[in-house]
Amino acid sequence: MIQLIALMGLLIGVVGMSYVAMRKSRELKVLATHTPPDGAFVTSAINIIAPKLKFDFKKISIQPMMQKVKDGAWFKKTLIKSKIILLKLENKIDVWLKKISHSKK
């Protein structure tokens, strides 16, 4: 019975999230703005700083960065490091719990 209630809650949540996502996607398609407004701080900063750096910010492409993300090398390294840190933390907590349980006896 509890599993049925949990399943119904999950389905209602998924349907609600998909409804919100579809509504927001329609609104974002209508807006279709990819650049900040002319008076924005970022635009004014780029217009002031870019000529001094002699670097064209419009030539920056997201594709090489996305390819690195898709390759997943950095993601694997991050997961391995986080796993090591979590294992060390788990070991430290185990040691602390053993000390606490022995001190009460």
pLDDT in tens, 69-94: 667 777 788 889 999 999 999 999 99
In this structure, the answer to whether residues 55 and 16 fall within a common structural domain is yes
What is the dihedral angle through the alpha carbons of 81, 86, 103, 101, rounded to the nearest 10 degrees? -150
In this structure, the answer to whether residues 14 and 54 fall within a common structural domain is yes
List the pLDDT tens digit at each of the 105 positions of the chain.
888 899 899 999 999 988 888 888 777 766 655 555 556 666 667 677 766 666 666 666 667 767 766 677 777 888 899 999 999 999 999 999 888 887 765
What is the dihedral angle through the alpha carbons of 19, 23, 26, 29, rounded to the nearest 10 degrees? -110
Task: State the pTM of this model.
Answer: 0.34
What is the dihedral angle through the alpha carbons of 57, 58, 59, 63, rounded to the nearest 10 degrees? 100
Answer yes or no: are the C-beta atoms of 41 and 47 closer than 8 Å.
Answer: no
Q: How many domains does the chain have?
A: 2
Given this model, what pLDDT does residue 8 score? 92
Range of 68's domain? Answer: 61-105
The chain-wide mean pLDDT, for the chain, equals 78
In this structure, the answer to whether residues 49 and 68 fall within a common structural domain is no
In this structure, the answer to whether residues 45 and 84 fall within a common structural domain is no
In this structure, the answer to whether residues 9 and 56 fall within a common structural domain is yes
Angle at 93 between CA 87 and CA 98, to 5 degrees: 125
In this structure, the answer to whether residues 54 and 73 fall within a common structural domain is no
Q: Of 25, 41, 60, which residue constitutes the final position of a domain?
A: 60
